[in-house]
Amino acid sequence: MKGSDIVFHLAANSDIIKSAKDTRIDLEQGTIATYNVLEAMRGNGVKKIVFTSSNVVYGEAKKLPIPEDYGPLFPISMYGASKLACEALISAFCHNFGFKAWIYRFANVIGSRVTHGVMLDFYRKLLRDSRELEVLGDGKQSKPYILVDDIVDGMLFGMAHSSEDVNYFNLGTEGMTLVSRIADDVIRAAGLRGVKVRFTGGVRGWPGDVARVSLDMGKLTALGWRPRCGSSDEAMREGVRAIVAELGKSLGPVKGKTI
């Protein structure tokens, strides 16, 4: 780290469901890991950090779309609690040690080389059984999705056009996409017909799942930034196509189908 100008801190636990059962995961891989990064920066004279946070810091917000100054912030997942704690640590280091930070509260990130998430989960379930698709919750969960290409572009744009000690932005797309719509699009992209979609019920997919999220993108757009895929639905369709294109051959054909 010595001799560096800036740290991009993107590391975090990605298995939110698992961390609901093991409460130390996000503490160790999120909060403590971030503290260690900040201390290493302090010891090596590195003063700038870019941190990838999440929309889950807002918890179940009563105002949609959610602006960056919404409060109070009460996350409902261990992952969200850790991300909020990390933001607080970064702010404290900025004010005590002259750091400068860019914090981005992401929408759901999708696209090339995805390793987890609802779209990949649906696709893999169809590979195991092309007749039925299990959907956690009631399918009415609605959230914004953004392509990873737009995430990178938005982060670099925000860095270049903001200069506060602590800069923080929502980074996503307009609108939100229903989980049931994602299921339909994955089925269609896989070339399947007549698949039974089975909902497990309840408003949440898992403990800590925020059922409805919509982000106010006003701060970044006021600076002049726009995502290439402007709407959540548009980004979702591209994300589904990327999964089928990249994983179809490596995971093999759906029963009776070649993808």
Which amino acid, residue 162?
Answer: S
Residue 13: other Cβ atoms inside 10 A: 18
Residue 142 inside a domain? The answer is yes
- Sequence-distant (6+) residues with CB within 8 A of 231 are 173, 174, 175
Residue 256 inside a domain? The answer is no
Residue 196 inside a domain? The answer is no
Which amino acid, residue 205?
Answer: G
Map tokens 């059922």 to a residue: 211
Residue 1 inside a domain? The answer is no
CATH number of the CATH domain containing 49: 3.40.50.720
**236 confidence band (pLDDT: 50, 70, 90):** very high
Residue 150 inside a domain? The answer is yes
Residue 245 inside a domain? The answer is yes
**255 confidence band (pLDDT: 50, 70, 90):** very low
Residue 171 pLDDT: 98
Bridging pattern class, strands 145-147 and 108-110: parallel
pLDDT at residue 219 greater than cutoff 90? yes
Q: What b-and-e string marks burial along 176-207, b requiring 16 or more CB atoms within 10 Å of the CB?
A: bbbbbebbbbbbebbebeebeeebeeeeebee
- Please state the domain count of the chain: 1
pLDDT digits (tens, 9 = 90+) for 98-144: 999 999 999 999 999 988 899 999 999 999 999 999 999 999 999 99
**Contact indicator for 59, 76 with CB cutoff of 8 Å:** yes
pTM of the model: 0.92
Residue 20 pLDDT: 78
By residue range, what is the domain housing residue 162?
Answer: 6-179+205-251
pLDDT digits (tens, 9 = 90+) for 144-155: 999 999 999 999
Map tokens 């261990």 to a residue: 78
Spatial CA neighbour of 52 closest among 88, 93, 108, 103? 103
Residue 194 inside a domain? The answer is no
